[in-house]
Amino acid sequence: MPLLWIKALHLITALAWVLGDLYGPKLLVYFTQPDTTPDQRAMLTTQLKRLVLFVATPGLVIALLSGVTLIINTPGLMGSGGWLHVKLMFALILMGFHGYLLLESKTMAEQPDVIINRNPRYYKLLSKVPELCMVVIIVMAIVKPF
């Protein structure tokens, strides 16, 4: 029974993490729009910083800890097929993306011209990374195709 609570915690916190990483690039798209005022850019900078630091990062840490706990306490899970390895690989990609989002939020605050000069399409395309990772992770965890 306790493992079910850990699994629920894992899912809830992973959702917070991924939702933060999905919405972060959208804020960067708004930031790069030519008609965005300096006051709006200041607000977007604050929003991204809070989203990444207070929603997505705690979600990542708790999802990681609960996931490791599930792996340790479920005998034979690592040998149950390749689905878990694929899920873990995409979780690592998502962690790298989160690190990049942290760097972008810092750049946004310290050197806004670097972000402003990027094409909004860059961030629109970048927002597809967590979407793809989320789909693969969910399919691997639920369907377990191999």
Mean pLDDT over each residue of the chain, to the nearest integer = 94
pLDDT value at residue 114: 87
Please name the residue ranges forming H helices in the chain: 2-32, 38-51, 57-72, 82-110, 112-116, 120-126, 128-143
Task: Give the whole-angstrom CA distance, residue 118 versus residue 33.
Answer: 10
Digit-coded pLDDT (tens) for 60-86:
999 999 999 999 999 888 788 899 999
In the prediction, which pLDDT does 113 show? 87
* Per-residue pLDDT tens digits for 114-142: 888 889 999 999 999 999 999 999 999 99
Residue with tokens 């894992």: 10
Report domain extents, the chain. 2-143
Torsion of CA 118, 119, 120, 125, to 10 degrees: -100
**Predicted pLDDT of residue 1:** 66
Mean pLDDT of 84-98: 97
